[in-house]
Homo-oligomer: A and B are copies of this chain.
């Protein structure tokens, strides 16, 4: 029953280009003209393919998590809480200061850069950050059951602490701090964790 004209662009490449733009400028800072220029798609094609700027952003977020948050998935596989946290925080420091990617974190940058008309975008990003935190909470709960985290420590509080530091590192990176500076903060953090 007639399939229609096939799209001429590579979806993955387009999402990658759009990611760079959103990552560098935030949701509202990125204009359709920017996105059109970076992806090579005319505005009409973007709307045909993704419905809206917000629709494109949502797909870009999925791609961001898949490609950037590998360090988080790897981190929770580490055998001890110390190693989990080291892997996690060093991953944040590296991901937010990559030589080939914009400085900062899209989930942090995007959220704060969303103004009035983008309340739903802010909610979406807050939800994704929350999911990320739950990811770490679950690992720390397991650690407590295994005796690797003291009974006196609430895994949610510990994850909240690590997450606050992660967001702080992302802010510093977005503000121009270099990787060494971030890694020095990570090193000091790991010198002794609050419950050790």
Instruction: Using known A-B contacts A25-B115, A172-B164, determine if residue A188 contacts B157 with beta carbons closer than 8 Å.
Output: yes
- B-chain residues with CB within 8 Å of residue A113 when the two chains form the complex: 26, 28, 112-115
The minimal Cβ–Cβ distance linking A23 to chain B, given in whole angstroms, is 12
The minimal Cβ–Cβ distance linking A41 to chain B, given in whole angstroms, is 20
Q: By DSSP majority rule, is chain A's interface helix, strand, loop, or mixed?
A: helix
Inter-chain CA distance A104–B165, complex, in Å, is 16
Q: Which stretch from A55-63, A77-85, A174-182 is at the chain B interface? A: A174-182
Inter-chain CA distance A114–B104, complex, in Å, is 13
> What are the 6 A-B residue pairs with the smallest beta carbon separation, nearest first?
A29-B115, A168-B168, A164-B168, A167-B171, A112-B112, A167-B168
